[in-house]
Amino acid sequence: MTPMPWRLLGVAAASDGGGAALLARGDQPARAFRAGAMLPDGWRVQRIEHDGVWLAPPEGGEAVRLAAPVRPVPSAGPPATGG
């Protein structure tokens, strides 16, 4: 199987498996791709989920799932004071 050249930087998922995935390859700038889009090297965005994306390899076979990056939860700071 072809090694995974893509990194998932973020997703904007729709409930029907659509949406957009922010993908980067190597040190190239990230680009947004919609479900069904063909990536420049032949991989295809198969499905976009709220926590990841499925990419179909160029030679066929099983799709590969990339998990969305985990974003840190903002800490609750001290309450605001009036003054």
In a domain, 25, yes or no: yes
In a domain, 80, yes or no: no
pLDDT tens string 49-67: 989 999 999 988 899 999 9
Number of structural domains found in the chain: 1
pLDDT tens string 8-59: 999 998 888 678 999 999 889 999 999 999 999 999 999 999 899 999 999 8
Is the whole model's pTM more than 0.85, yes or no?
A: no
Sheet holding 6-13, edge to edge: 6-13, 19-25, 31-34
In a domain, 81, yes or no: no
Look-up of token digits 């040190």:
27
In a domain, 19, yes or no: yes
In terms of residue numbers, what domain contains 37?
Answer: 6-67
> For the domain that residue 54 is a member of, what is the CATH number?
2.30.30
In a domain, 75, yes or no: no
DSSP letter for each residue of 10-77: EEEE-TTS-EEEEEEETTSPPEEEETTPBPTTS-EEEEEETTEEEEE-TT-SS-EEEEPPPPPPPPP-
What's the CA gap between 51 and 49, in Å, rounded? 5
In a domain, 74, yes or no: no
